[in-house]
Amino acid sequence: SQGIGTIPSITLDGGVSSEMVPATVADTEAYRRNFRGAEFEGIIGASFLRHFKVTVDYKRNRIYFHRDH
C-alpha cells in the first residue's frame, strides 16, 4: 500500500532538518530483502536532499549535509 503526503518537519541526527517535506509511504519489505543486514527507518529522497550539499565519506562511513544557500 502506498500513500502520498507531507511531513511537517524532519530532523536527522546532528540537527539537519527541513520543513514541509513531500513524502511517499510505501512497503519497505523489498528494500529490506535487497539490503540484508542494513538498518533503516526510511528512505531520504530528492525532495529532502535538494536543499543540501551532500558529502559521502566512505572511509568513515558517514554522510554530511550542508545547507545549499
Instruction: Say yes or no to pLDDT of 1 above 60.
Output: no
Instruction: List Cα–Cα distances, 22 to 32, 35, 50, 56, in angstroms.
Output: 22, 24, 12, 23
Rounded average pLDDT over 47-69: 86
How far is 69 from 63, CA to CA, in rounded Å? 19
Rounded average pLDDT over 13-40: 82
Closest CA to 51 of 62, 31, 65: 65
Return the pLDDT at 66: 86
- Tell me what the pLDDT averaged over the chain comes to: 83
Return the pLDDT at 60: 93
pTM: 0.57
